[in-house]
Amino acid sequence: MIKPIGSDELKPLFVYDPEEHHKISHEAEGLPSVVISSQSAGNAVMMGAGYFSPLKGFMNLADAMGAAEKMTLSDGSFFPVPVLCLLESADAIGDAKRIALRDPNMEGNPVLAVMDVETIETVSDEQMAIMTDKVYRTDDMEHVGVNTFNSQGRVAVSGPIQVLNFSYFQNDFPDTFRTAVEIRNEIKEHGWEKVVAFQTRNPMHLAHEELCHMAMDRLGCDGLVIHMLLGKLKKGDIPAPVRDAAIRKMAELYFPPNSVMITGYGFDMLYAGPREAVLHAYFRQNMGASHFIIGRDHAGVGDYYGAFDAQTIFDDEVPEGALDIEIFKADHTAYSKKLNKVVMMREAPDHTKEDFVLLSGTKVREMLGKGIAPPPEFSRPEVAEILMNYYQSLNQ
């Protein structure tokens, strides 16, 4: 199986030993504490689950700037985005060397992790602007990721962490949430050698399904991991439970037995396009995937990124040798009326736009809301039924 990044084995930051977990949990209740941002909480969950291995905790400002500017930390290791714990104020910390980080996404703000405080630094406007520009490629506050990143505060607290729980993800999505450790173990149990991962924050229509089949066939993969985002999305995105049900139905009916794992991870979407695509590849290698599908406008939002910027960044900007995972670069896929099958559009040069079944997201939502199933060339009827029930429930 492919090795994790920077080590022969994963280094999850979750405290698995029961005695140690009990001891630290008890200690945490007496420590100075801060309620962290949702983005920081997602980062803590990802570190706890091993996805961000071998990070030991939240970055200091030098490492965060290095990650933003050249994807390289002070010690020379690779990481594609800053992983910061940003606060409005550090008053609650004082001169404490050990603090509790509280979860903003759960009632009562339970302790999510304990941090050994190494630095408390103020991020300048110039530093914030550089990180924003490098990661998001825009400073437009209308960009949902830019707005979220810049709205957390300017005080960066860094240091190694010990993670005590996985926020709401384990309770809300018990059948889907998986740590990188668990996914590696399941891949071993399946006996898969070549594994391709597919990222999604939406239900999978026929084109997505066929793209996964294409990747498996062309790469000779014996396993597919559909890995869905379970964290906060932007307004209008379909909730994770609905997405989960639709994807499970598709996999059950249209993939061979024991060829697909349906899993999810706890993280808030950055919508950072190319740079987020690199982060996605990073943690897919850590979870054991040997290949990763990146299609058109991966992890983008609006018109901020070129259609294939999330593919070219791997050739143009990622340091050589930083990743072992291989990228399956996909074009937009759609049903060809000429060929009566789903194809990558670049592989059908004799086609015009009219030769494909193309429906906008707005049009599809409108149809589903009216109880009209999209054509079978666009969506499996069983998937459409689940989505129609959801959209019609919004109108009641």
Q: Active site residue: 154, 202, 248, 365, which one? A: 202
Q: Pick from 122, 291, 130, 319: which is nearest to 199 by CA? A: 291
Residue 265: partners with Cβ closer than 8 Å, 6 or more residues away: 46, 49, 51, 169, 177, 178, 227, 228, 229, 230, 231, 283
Please pick, among 201, 284, 389, 395, the residue that the annotation labels catalytic.
Answer: 201
| DSSP codes joined into one string, 274-285 | HHHHHHHHHHHH
Q: Is 150 a catalytic residue?
A: no
Contact 125, 168 (CB under 8 A): no
Active site residue 165: no
CA neighbor of 68 nearest in space, from 136, 119, 11, 5: 136
Q: Which residues contact 232 (CB under 8 A, 6 or more apart)?
A: 38, 42, 268, 269
CA distance 230 to 221: 25
> Cβ distance 219 to 328 under 8 Å?
yes
- The DSSP symbol for 100 reads E
- The rounded distance, in Å, linking the Cα atoms of 33 and 154 is 18
Q: At 280, phi and psi to the nearest 5?
A: -60, -40
Long-range CB pairs of 178-182 (<8 Å, 24+ gap) are 178/263, 178/264, 178/265, 179/12, 179/14, 179/48, 179/49, 179/50, 179/51, 180/4, 180/10, 180/12, 180/49, 180/50, 180/51, 180/53, 180/283, 180/286, 180/287, 180/288, 181/10, 181/12, 181/49, 181/50
Please list the active-site residues: 201-202
